[in-house]
């Protein structure tokens, strides 16, 4: 084993054990212990994930998340927050050296929009993307999320694909001015989102290749893709150059890792070994309520983060 890997492995093992002890102790005493043992990857809890332990204030949530060893957060609704709060969030993340996962630029799962060649839709997408640049400026966000909406049963599929490509390129031309990446999210249609246009990783990569813009990326949501197509590691590798972020959630149930069928420990080791340095958003619920559920979630991430390096 290389010397630097040996040193890193030894340090990580000690940190992981110390972190797990802190979490278990916190659960046992029903108090929250500070935990500076950082995770190996940038798992990003949502700002409302630990409401039972940290309350409703976003800044208090960020501090709590950092105390538990996480080095990133995400907030789907960041663009809808007051500009003053956006700045506070950005400043606190910068102070703590934490990353911020993708926020929603535009996503409406009940409408047809990007599959159309409609000037009103183009104007809307321009407006939303331009507004996203202001959010980026206030928060330091690197990534925004966008979905193409519903497909049109009366339009040839290939024409819809062409429209999505052209609309996505329009958005990326705006986002690219400040280096904001736009991640498209393929979602499952079997359980949660029937009728959506974008469902598969291969379909998403095809659009990225056609858009041919550095801001055009994919968010690989393991919960959705386990339902849609499986082969999570294979599809991840085939789309690797276009993945801008990950979403986490176990299946069935869409709760924290270890509660379903996905082997997250192996997946996270694979991601780590590939050198990924971006965010992995904890876009899921909790299998238990209250502070007990908060601690169970943290312990689950300690477990799946305990892979050897």
Choose the catalytic residue: 92, 181, 256, 283.
Answer: 283
Structure tokens at 47: 């700002």
What is the rounded CA–CA span in Å between residue 50 and residue 35?
15
Cα distances (angstroms) measured from residue 54 to each of 28, 45, 206, 288: 18, 13, 42, 16
Catalytic pick from 185, 229, 292, 308?
185
- Whether 185 is a known active-site residue: answer yes
Among residues 200, 191, 190, 185, which one has the least CA distance to residue 149? 185
CB proximity list for 156: less than 8 A, separation 6 or greater? none
Do 308 and 9 contact (CB within 8 A), yes or no? Answer: yes
When computed from its CA atoms, the radius of gyration of the chain, rounded to whole angstroms, is 20
Is 166 annotated as catalytic? no
Q: How far is residue 62's CA from residue 75's CA, in Å, rounded to a whole number?
A: 11
Please tell me whether the peptide bond between 182 and the residue prior to it is cis, using omega within 30 degrees of 0.
no
99 vs 246: CA distance, rounded Å: 13
Residues classed as catalytic: 185, 283
């Amino acid at each position: 084993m290389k010397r630097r890997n040996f040193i890193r492995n030894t340090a990580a093992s000690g940190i992981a054990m110390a972190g797990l002890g802190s979490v278990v102790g916190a659960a046992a005493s029903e108090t929250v212990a500070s935990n500076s043992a950082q995770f190996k990857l940038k798992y990003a809890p949502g700002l409302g994930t630990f409401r039972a332990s940290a309350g409703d204030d976003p800044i208090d949530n960020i501090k709590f998340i950092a105390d538990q060893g996480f080095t990133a957060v995400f907030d789907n609704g960041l663009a809808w927050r007051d500009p003053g709060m956006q700045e506070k969030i950005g400043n606190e993340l910068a102070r703590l050296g934490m990353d911020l996962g993708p926020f929603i630029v535009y996503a409406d799962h009940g409408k047809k929009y990007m599959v159309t060649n409609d000037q009103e839709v183009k104007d809307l997408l321009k407006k939303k993307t331009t507004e996203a640049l202001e959010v980026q400026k206030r928060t330091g966000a690197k990534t925004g999320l966008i979905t193409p909406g519903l497909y049109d049963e009366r339009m040839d599929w290939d024409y819809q694909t062409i429209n999505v490509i052209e609309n996505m390129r329009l958005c990326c031309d705006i986002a690219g001015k400040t280096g904001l990446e736009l991640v498209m999210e393929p979602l499952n249609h079997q359980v949660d989102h029937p009728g959506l246009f974008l469902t598969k990783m291969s379909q998403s990569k095809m659009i990225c290749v056609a858009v041919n813009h550095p801001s055009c990326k994919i968010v690989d949501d393991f919960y959705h893709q386990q339902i849609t197509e499986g082969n999570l590691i294979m599809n991840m590798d085939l789309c690797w150059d276009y993945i801008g972020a990950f979403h986490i959630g176990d299946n069935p149930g869409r709760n924290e890792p270890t509660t379903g069928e996905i082997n997250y420990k192996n997946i996270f080791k694979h991601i780590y070994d590939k050198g990924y340095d971006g965010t992995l958003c904890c876009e899921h619920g909790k299998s238990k309520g209250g502070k007990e559920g908060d601690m169970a979630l943290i312990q689950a991430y300690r477990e799946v983060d305990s892979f050897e390096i």
